[in-house]
Structure 1
């Protein structure tokens, strides 16, 4: 198996008397899109700042392709490209002038490489226009191009779809997947848009109060034991809700005579039988795998995002 692109090894961060990050340990592999999510104040931004060397690590280590961000910063940092929210560009310069300017700061970036990243992010037509004429989606793509100029092994994107319309979000998602699959770049995404994280990422890590709660593979093959989201149209709904709680310890919510709850797939026929035996009319049942949003709130609690 190839070496991880990034490893966090028992990373801790203390500011004053407060421990902000508590023993974070996980790794990200080459060619993987990893979603780093959690409620506000969970420690995502602090962790990202430590990943790119903008904040010191109190204890533990972060390694980029085996190189320590603490003891071998220059070598480790060369492997990282990063964008935090909206990329800053010179609006009075064209896209190509911006890229040429950034290329001069990175020795070894050739004209061929500049053309390569322009093609990769699909800006061939717009690259000669001034950046102040760019849409938000185009600016984000130019930001990604800039972050990729020096051929990093890891791309870190903090809220990459912030402020974009649905078309712009889809564009960025497409380029991120392309980067991972074709160029084998490891991409770390921090975002509040859980539906987008679910579409974009291979795996997620959820952080709460500075601690890693779980990492999960979003494309694991489903099995009978996995929970699904069940929608059940019934009458009377209140009586059905009480029965499910009493006999199966299921907490359902009601929306327009539809019960909404999570259950293992194999238990659904039993639940229907219980309701029918108690003279509850069951009109319709539909099921889907629990969404990332459902799993997220199950793990962190409903009221933790401010």
Structure 2
């Protein structure tokens, strides 16, 4: 059987005065997805999420959650959803547990055992009774995710959960998202303006720009459209770099990446490049083919910009 459609929008639109924040958005999220919702800042991601959580009313269009229509008067399916929008809010002078108790009251009360379960899940059990004002930014982000998980939802909607985090904090949130999807069997809807974050965790994704859908599909398929490059680990690295600079027939561009070289080139030319390095006395430890969505993403968003600015109410927009 095909996976259940957990969340679906049809021509979802939101207008603020004379500006379309979201227009004719069609999304489809399947059970078990880690669905990346990608777009530049101001693209309409948070507005979309607010509509999905019934925090604001759409101007037009439909939302279905677990095959039930979602309206301002009919939102039973939201009981199966947990989410955070933008920066989560807390009572800073209260502990994490007390903050969860306040959120739990919205669900009719949540027992202490469940609170400790979600705090352990997000790695905050040891700080459960500390005041939130003593938390780092990354810890506050994880506490926000704990709030979203409190009711044990099937669908978790996270709006820019790695925003403002340092690399270690970003990794902790990424690992948590992977754990929720793989081990807790949650469906994740994850928004971000960071392409690298989506590439690392999502299996399906959509790109939005100026409120309109640019592309949607499996990350693996979209990666086929991306830039080909290889990571080369070799010694001595300086000599390898000098040789690669001379191989202009194969090497399009090159940059350092830690103790490796990132070389933009065709995968078909890997054997020839490897031979040239070895014959020149370079010890090649690894050549790893990779693809990046970065150029593809930039090309798509630039194309949508070239189609013209977001239409005003009286105008028209071009849609893909």
Under a length normalisation based on structure 2, what TM-score does the superposition of the two structures give?
0.74
With over 3 angstroms needed to count, the CA separation of the structure-2 counterparts of 1:17 and 1:101, relative to structure 1, is: closer
> Pairwise mapping of residues 46-85 of structure 1 onto structure 2 (< 5 A)?
46-70=47-71, 73-85=74-86
Paired residue for 1:115? 116
SS of the residue 2:165 aligns to: coil
Matches of 2:71 and 2:304, distance apart in 1: 36
Matches of 2:179 and 2:144, distance apart in 1: 16
- The total of aligned residue pairs comes to 281
Residue 221 of structure 1: how far off its partner (Å): 11
Paired residue for 2:310? none
Matches of 2:170 and 2:201, distance apart in 1: 10
Matches of 1:296 and 1:178, distance apart in 2: 27
Paired residue for 2:228? 228
5+ residue gaps, structure 1, are: 245-251, 277-282
SS of the residue 1:78 aligns to: helix
**Structure 1 range deviating more: 100-109 or 153-162:** 100-109
Matches of 1:181 and 1:109, distance apart in 2: 25
1:149 equivalent in alignment to 2:150: yes
* CA root-mean-square deviation: 3.6
Paired residue for 1:33? 34
Residue 119 of structure 1: how far off its partner (Å): 2.1
Residue 50 of structure 1: how far off its partner (Å): 1.3
With over 3 angstroms needed to count, the CA separation of the structure-2 counterparts of 1:86 and 1:41, relative to structure 1, is: closer
Matches of 1:161 and 1:299, distance apart in 2: 23
Residue 40 of structure 1: how far off its partner (Å): 3.0
Paired residue for 2:294? 293
5+ residue gaps, structure 2, are: 232-242, 277-281, 306-320
1:22 equivalent in alignment to 2:23: yes
Paired residue for 1:134? 135
Paired residue for 1:89? 90
Paired residue for 1:206? 207
Residue 2 of structure 1: how far off its partner (Å): 3.8
Matches of 2:137 and 2:78, distance apart in 1: 27
Residue 19 of structure 1: how far off its partner (Å): 3.5
With over 3 angstroms needed to count, the CA separation of the structure-2 counterparts of 1:49 and 1:262, relative to structure 1, is: farther
